[in-house]
Chains A and B, each alone.
Chain A
Amino acid sequence: MKNIFYKSVVFASSVTLLLSCKPNLTVPTPSKGSIDASRYVAIGNSITSGFADGALYYDGQMVSFPNLVAQQLKLVGGGSFAQPLMPVSSIGVGSTGNAPFKLDYSTDCLGVTSLAPVPKAAQGDVSAFSTNIYAAQGPFNNMGVPGAKAITVAVSGYGNPANGSGNYNPFFTRMAKNPTSSSMLSDAMLLNPTFFSLFIGNNDVLAYATNGGASDFITPAANFDASINAIVDSLTKNGAKGVIGNVPDITALPYFTTVPWNGLTLTRQGQVDTLNLAIWSNGTATGRYNFKVGNNPFLIKDPSAPLGQRLIKEGEFVLLNVPLDNIKCHGLGSIQAIPNQYVLTATEIANIQTAVSAYNASIRAVADNPKNNLAFVDVNAFLNQTKTGFVYNGITLNAAFVTGGAFSLDGIHLTPMGNALLANEFIKAINVKYSSTIQQVDATKYHSIIFP
């Protein structure tokens, strides 16, 4: 009996021991491979800056993709990563002085209430443009400047207000060491970077594209190529390694793809007749626009068309910033042609796509040039995946506006989760090129659109 008692005690103790047993998976130790992450500098445009929902604001900056990359680089010897942060309390500011969008209830001219992006305030925090923060917070590792193009990176005095409105970049004014003489590149070099990311070129077409080709211009491919080479030459002259991203096709961006080309829905024959009559009264030849009950193409302005207007064709874009109330209640797109600034025609799209192809060829060549030997991120391919859906840890993100989860409320910049996934693309490319094992970001920790 004593023996049995003894055995029972042994049995019970071993059971207790085994119950408290928890698995302990070995977590791989990240390694830096052949990079020196101690001084990482990111050069780029609004996407690099953390711009989102149409504005630059603190929360967006905190989830800028280079900030997320830097956070992972810290695990392999990376240093601090200074960003030109907007004040936490600031509402933020966009390129027209606007406040960021939020998703909220909005009542249109027909009295229909639905969810739509609405500005958080009538005006953004324009005081940020006149407050230089370099002395307090600089020098900056994040040299992402909203609006910057490849051809402006090395322009000195890029933030000089004396150049006059439209000829300087106020986002750079606030962060430049010396707004009158600094270039983005010269300020970036102040940190003597050991590692860099360069993701620029979107605005070399976007400034043109987002205005419907009505203003600004497409940077000529030769100028783009020269700029990229010059930037990389400067960055690598002290032996720094880096990663470079290419330019996404605009057809992946909801800003261009959300409003359907044939979104003019006519429900009654009376509407159709009235419209055809109205067109007639505009002096257009009979039957040219044969509106019918159902979905119809919008009427757009096109200086090259007879009488300067025509119906939009499939594959052409009406931009996200088109005044929807005017479409709904004031005959825009039907009685009145949609102005050029809200439309990208097939010719304009072709011009943009030709330029993007040329830019991407330059970027690839610069990356692969043995002199530079940079890690290369195919951002274009990455964002194109969102057209069909990008699955990640049980979530499907796609390029649909608001509902897709990848793009923020401006239809061009990414959501926090989108930024985290972009950061992962950069990290993957670095790991491939430099034999490092830097861990990716767990993107499920970052949200997408905020719903009311």
Chain B
Amino acid sequence: MIKKLITISILSLPALLNAQGFQVNLQGQTQQGMGGAGTGLVQDAAAVFFNPGGVSFLKENTINAGATATIANGEFLDAASSRVSRTDNPVSTPFAAYGVFGSLDTTKYFSRFKFGVGIYTPFGSTAKWEDGWTGRFALTSLKLQSIFFQPTVSWKVCDKLGIGAGFVLGYGNVELKEDLPLYSNGTYGTADLKGTALGYGFNAGVYYKPCKKLSIGLTYRSQVNMNLNSGTATITVPQSVASNFPSGPFSSHIPLPQVLTLGFGYQVNSKLALALDINYIGWKAYDTLAFDYKNNTATFPDTKLPRDYKNTFAFRLGGQYKITEKFTARVGVALSLTPIKPGYVTPEVPDADKVNLTCGVGYKISNKFRVDASYTFENLKRTDNNTALQLNGTYKTYLSAPGLSLTYKF
């Protein structure tokens, strides 16, 4: 017992690692320009993501590839000390690429089938806080990427109705870092959790065009459970307590939520088109974030962090106007309601109810090539006292996301 008395046993780590999914709505430049709406208005190969049912309505075979630079600048004002900490985020570039192929011989029934493939990034997050920031013991940086690969079949059942579905194979990688309150030689310990994950699901949709002007889309993207089976936890602590905090493998699981979307498209006239999407997002699945470390010690147990997200809605409205035969301008707005309840906001994703303003342009270079660009701006502000962390303050983030894509038709 006496040995136990003076042998150091560090209490369990206060809040080892907090992470959460984060929805990214950057899957097509045309749609991004219009507030992210595109389920009910099918225009290009991004329909593989937005509505597999609408893919069969595409008149050409196309390849579309684009990327979006997201630049997020964040601040945190600690309520008690008024200290302001800033993020030092790297630019991340979510990308999306689609191909749609099928017989163009409309005399054949087979031309009613289209085959598509998409690679896109539906969830991701990047947050890197400046060194020594107030919340360093909750999180210093998070990098979460997901890449979905989706082969798709779409069938134009009749001239007014198309259905389609795709299998989703999801790959994710995550790296999460935080400081540990174990101090030696002027520095603190750190924890670095890194790993890759795989998951699968599906994306199915119906596209209905009752008349020339109106189109309606309904899609369901299933939940994708990302299982991280062989992550690496690298724990760096003062040498004298290193055996209490062993590095080693860990496993975890992050649910990427199901999304049900109802979308409308309305072709007002030959120049003007409008689109509206309503998303219902199943964030309730994100209840607990657990890390199961292989090498547990009395002082290094598994971590279970309450997230307790709620299901939520997003509304996306956009319009596009064909200024000339070659040039199209787009504008949009989106309202996203946060899934994070009061008392659960964490510094990886200080999410809030938010309004996105977007705009975009498209330019038809030739009959084969077109280029589309978009710009999204997001302004986030959230004041919260995280119950588990007792981290109390106001987050403010400006996010700018300019993007560009190239489309080739054949």
Contacts and interface: CB of A to CB of B under 8 A. Distances in A.
A451 to B, nearest CB: 4
Interface stretch (B151-159, B180-188, B254-262): B180-188
Given A22-B73, A439-B81, A442-B81, A403 B2 contact: no
Interface string A437-452: 0011110110111111
The 8 closest A-B pairs by CB, nearest first: A394-B138, A451-B238, A394-B137, A265-B1, A440-B80, A23-B396, A447-B183, A442-B81
A45 to B, nearest CB: 26
Contacts of B7: 114-115
Interface in A12-48: 15, 18-19, 21-25, 27-28, 30
B313 interface: no
B84 A258 contact: no
B15 interface: yes
Q: Among A15, A19, A444, find the residue whose CB has the most chain B CB atoms closer than 10 A.
A: A444
B181 A405 contact: yes
B26 interface: no
20 contacts: A4-B363, A25-B394, A27-B82, A106-B6, A108-B3, A114-B7, A114-B8, A115-B7, A115-B8, A263-B1, A263-B2, A391-B388, A394-B389, A398-B11, A403-B8, A444-B134, A445-B132, A448-B181, A451-B241, A452-B184
B9 interface: yes
B90 to A, nearest CB: 14
Interface in A151-180: none
B123 interface: no
A439 B8 contact: no
A227 B369 CA distance: 90
Interface in A414-451: 424, 439-442, 444-445, 447-451
A21 B181 contact: no
Interface stretch (B98-106, B141-149, B215-223, B397-405): B397-405
Nearest to B8: A115
A339 interface: no
A395 B375 contact: no
A97 interface: no
B306 interface: no
Given A4-B327, A324-B6, A395 B11 contact: no
Nearest to A112: B3
A73 interface: no
Contacts of B398: 21-23
A18 B400 contact: yes
Interface string A67-108: 000000000000000000000000000000000000101101
A27 B84 contact: yes
Contacts of B355: none
Contacts of B277: none
A402 interface: yes
B32 to A, nearest CB: 13
B267 to A, nearest CB: 24
A269 B397 CA distance: 67
A25 B84 contact: yes
Contacts of B135: 393-394, 444
Interface of B: 1-3, 5-11, 14-15, 71, 73-75, 77-78, 80-84, 86, 132, 134-139, 178, 181-184, 188, 237-241, 327, 361, 363, 373, 375, 377, 388-391, 394, 396-398, 400, 402
A440 B3 contact: no
Nearest to B363: A4
Interface in A98-131: 103, 105-106, 108, 110, 112, 114-116
A327 interface: yes
A11 interface: yes
Given A22-B73, A25-B396, A451-B184, A115 B82 contact: no
Given A114-B3, A394-B137, A449 B183 contact: yes
Contacts of A105: 240
A106 B10 CA distance: 18
Nearest to B391: A393
B83 A442 contact: yes
Contact of B2 (A22, A106, A324, A448): A324
Interface in A260-280: 260, 263-265
A415 B131 CA distance: 22
Contact of B375 (A4, A8, A18): A18
Contacts of A259: 5
Contacts of A393: 78, 134-135, 137-138, 389-391
Contacts of B238: 451-452
A439 B82 contact: yes
Contacts of B182: 451
Given A112-B3, A324-B6, A327-B2, A24 B134 contact: no
Nearest to B2: A328
A223 interface: no
A323 to B, nearest CB: 11
Given A4-B327, A27-B84, A450-B184, A395 B397 contact: no
A29 to B, nearest CB: 9
A223 to B, nearest CB: 37
Nearest to A329: B2
A399 to B, nearest CB: 11
Given A424-B80, A451-B238, 7 more contacts: A23-B396, A114-B7, A115-B240, A115-B241, A324-B5, A394-B135, A398-B11
Interface string A377-420: 00000000000000111111010101111000000000000000
Nearest to A420: B81
Contacts of A114: 3, 6-8
Contacts of B80: 424, 439-440, 442
Nearest to A393: B391
Contacts of A106: 6
Interface string A314-342: 00000000001001100000000000000
A137 interface: no
Nearest to B242: A451
Nearest to B180: A395
B361 to A, nearest CB: 7
A400 B80 CA distance: 26
B181 A402 contact: no
B299 to A, nearest CB: 8
B5 A263 contact: yes
Contact of A395 (B132, B137, B394): B137
A404 B14 CA distance: 11
Given A258-B5, A324-B6, A394-B391, A19 B400 contact: yes
A25 B238 CA distance: 36
Contacts of B138: 393-394
Contacts of B361: 7-8, 11
A295 interface: yes
Contacts of B183: 447-451
B8 A19 contact: no
Nearest to B188: A447
Contacts of A445: 132
Q: Among B5, B188, B239, find the residue whose CB has the most chain A CB atoms closer than 10 A.
A: B5
B8 A402 contact: yes
Contacts of B373: 11
